[in-house]
């Protein structure tokens, strides 16, 4: 762990003590974290879950560069599902984006093992050199964020992110960049900055000493590129589909609404084609859904789309959505499918053993 020490990261044994709970984090519990009989309250959004005292729960939402080959994704997701002490809450794949988003929860130590197993499988099975999708990516495992739930803290998630990054780099000879709250180098907080140039531009980018990775080799992995690992708050991955095949319309709308162009606060947006459906999409991350909820985004997108002579067909959530993000609206108002009710984070947590 010398590389970790030189970058200001605690040695593994120290960091593990910081993120471990008072319980034995490897003790089998039922079915995710613990039996709720001796529970205290864990607040997630506007809901309440109950679980064992002192248990710190962390969500991880890996984004994998593959969404068209079910058997490949089965094996990658299986590495998570078979890890003791971690529960796979959701798996969302998209063929046009050629991307899969996994949602998993667990204690820090089992989460670390599950993520490392998932990364090993993805690096073995995905060749980014042949990957073509509409979503930007740096490698086979594009990004791995850790998210605090309940009593877990952002500092604990940052510790865990750095531990995973160091170990993944060592095991897989994979360049790893740290981002958001785990970042150690100024200017590396924003994912889009790290991802600029994508996999294809990575070799040239890494020749610049300012873009040396936080962990791992200073050249891209031949087939897996590089991975970004970090810690962040909950966000909503939210897409709106338009009834047109004019990509420029989606791109113009995305430019108007995204924060970096002077649009809505805490909104990242891009316009992409959905070739298999012959339409276009405004694809977004809402990084603070309490300030800018989906309802506000939908209204603004619809206004901009209709001003350009097109219509909104529908919207969709990628992965899971916190209940608070839907508190001021309905699925019908957002043109979300009825099945989105089952994509509420708190509902999935309850389904695998929490009591709301």
> CA 208 to CA 34: how far, in whole Å?
48
Residue 143 has pLDDT above 80, yes or no: yes
Residue pLDDT, tens place only, 30-80: 222 332 222 222 222 333 233 333 447 899 999 999 999 999 999 999 999
Same domain, 217 and 303: no
* Catalytically annotated residue among 98, 131, 135, 266: 135
298 φψ region: left (φ > 0), alpha (ψ -120 to 50), beta (else): alpha
Q: Is 69 among the residues known to form the active site?
A: no
> CA 26 to CA 259: how far, in whole Å?
42
> CA 83 to CA 114: how far, in whole Å?
6
DSSP string, 181-208: TT--STT---HHHHHTTTGGGHHHHTTS
Same domain, 301 and 331: yes
Domain end marker among 199, 231, 263 = 231
The answer as to whether 157 is a domain residue is yes
Q: How many domains does the chain have?
A: 2
Domain end marker among 231, 247, 275 = 231
Distance of CA 284 to the CA centre of its chain: 13
Residues 6+ apart with CB under 8 A from 95: 67, 68, 276
> CA 134 to CA 274: how far, in whole Å?
8
Residues 6+ apart with CB under 8 A from 233: 147, 148, 154, 287, 288
The answer as to whether 46 is a domain residue is no
Per-residue pLDDT, 277: 96
Same domain, 190 and 312: no
The answer as to whether 163 is a domain residue is yes
> CA 90 to CA 71: how far, in whole Å?
16
Per-residue pLDDT, 16: 39
Same domain, 85 and 175: yes
Q: Domain holding 302: CATH number?
A: 3.30.70.670
The answer as to whether 47 is a domain residue is no
Per-residue pLDDT, 151: 85
Q: Which domain holds residue 150?
A: 2-21+56-231
Residue 166 has pLDDT above 80, yes or no: yes
> CA 56 to CA 348: how far, in whole Å?
18
Per-residue pLDDT, 206: 96
Same domain, 252 and 226: no
Domain end marker among 171, 197, 231 = 231
Same domain, 226 and 288: no
For the chain, how many residues are written?
A: 356
Residue 29 has pLDDT above 90, yes or no: no
Per-residue pLDDT, 296: 98
Same domain, 159 and 265: no
Beta strands in 125-266 (DSSP E): 141-149, 176-180, 227-231, 236-242
Residue pLDDT, tens place only, 207-245: 999 999 999 999 999 999 999 999 999 999 999 999 999
Using alpha carbons only, give the angle 275, 277, 283 rounded to the nearest 5 degrees: 70
The answer to whether 195 and 136 are in contact (CB under 8 A) is: yes
Per-residue pLDDT, 44: 29
Per-residue pLDDT, 20: 37
Per-residue pLDDT, 352: 79
Same domain, 132 and 264: no
> CA 313 to CA 139: how far, in whole Å?
32
Residue pLDDT, tens place only, 295-324: 999 999 999 999 999 999 999 999 999 999
Confidence category of residue 265, pLDDT binned at 50, 70, 90 = very high
The answer as to whether 85 is a domain residue is yes
> CA 13 to CA 19: how far, in whole Å?
10
Mean pLDDT of the chain: 86
The answer as to whether 45 is a domain residue is no
The answer as to whether 33 is a domain residue is no
**Cα maximum dimension of the chain:** 59
Same domain, 152 and 92: yes
SS3 of 269, please?
strand
Residue pLDDT, tens place only, 286-298: 999 999 999 999 9
Same domain, 151 and 254: no
Same domain, 222 and 263: no
The answer to whether 321 and 290 are in contact (CB under 8 A) is: no
Q: Domain holding 202: CATH number?
A: 3.30.990.10
| Entry pTM | 0.84
Confidence category of residue 167, pLDDT binned at 50, 70, 90 = very high
- Identify the H or E element spanning 262: none
Residue pLDDT, tens place only, 237-249: 999 999 999 999 9
Same domain, 74 and 213: yes
SS3 of 223, please?
coil
Question: β-pairing, 176-180 with 227-231?
Answer: parallel
Residue 168 has pLDDT above 50, yes or no: yes
Question: β-pairing, 57-60 with 63-64?
Answer: unpaired
The answer as to whether 142 is a domain residue is yes
Output the CA torsion 242→245→248→252 (10° steps). 0
Token pair for residue 75?
């094996």
Residues 6+ apart with CB under 8 A from 176: 165, 166, 168, 169, 213, 214, 215, 216, 226, 227, 228, 229
């Amino acid at each position: 762990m010398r590389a970790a020490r030189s970058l200001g990261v605690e040695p593994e044994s120290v960091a593990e003590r910081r993120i471990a709970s008072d319980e034995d984090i490897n003790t089998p519990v039922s079915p995710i974290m613990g039996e709720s009989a001796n529970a205290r309250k864990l607040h997630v959004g506007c809901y309440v879950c109950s679980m064992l005292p002192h248990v710190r729960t962390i969500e991880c939402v890996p984004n994998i560069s593959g969404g068209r080959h079910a058997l490949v994704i089965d094996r990658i997701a299986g590495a998570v599902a078979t890890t003791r002490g971690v529960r796979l809450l959701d798996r969302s794949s998209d063929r046009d984006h050629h991307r899969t988003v996994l949602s998993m929860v667990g204690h820090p130590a089992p989460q670390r093992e599950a993520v490392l197993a998932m990364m090993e499988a993805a690096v073995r099975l995905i060749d980014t050199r042949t990957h073509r999708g509409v979503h930007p990516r740096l490698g086979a495992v594009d990004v791995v964020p850790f998210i605090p739930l309940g009593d877990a803290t952002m500092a604990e998630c940052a510790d865990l992110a750095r531990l995973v990054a160091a170990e993944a780099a060592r095991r897989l000879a994979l360049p790893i960049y740290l981002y958001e709250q785990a970042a150690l180098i100024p200017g590396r907080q924003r994912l889009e900055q790290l991802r600029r140039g994508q996999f294809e531009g990575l070799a040239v980018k890494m020749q610049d000493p300012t873009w040396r990775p936080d962990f791992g080799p200073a050249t891209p992995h031949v087939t897996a590129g590089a991975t970004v690992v970090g810690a962040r708050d909950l966000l909503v991955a939210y897409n709106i589909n338009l009834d047109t095949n004019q990509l420029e319309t989606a791109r113009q709308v995305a430019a108007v609404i995204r924060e970096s162009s002077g649009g809505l606060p805490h909104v990242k947006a891009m316009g992409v084609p959905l070739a298999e459906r012959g339409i276009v999409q405004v694809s977004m991350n809402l990084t603070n859904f309490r300030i800018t909820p989906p309802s506000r985004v939908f209204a603004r997108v619809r206004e901009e789309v209709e001003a350009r002579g097109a219509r909104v067909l529908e919207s969709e959530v990628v992965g899971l959505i916190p209940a608070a993000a839907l508190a001021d609206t309905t699925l019908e108002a957002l043109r979300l499918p009825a099945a989105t009710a089952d994509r509420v984070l708190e509902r999935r947590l309850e389904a695998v053993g929490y009591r709301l």
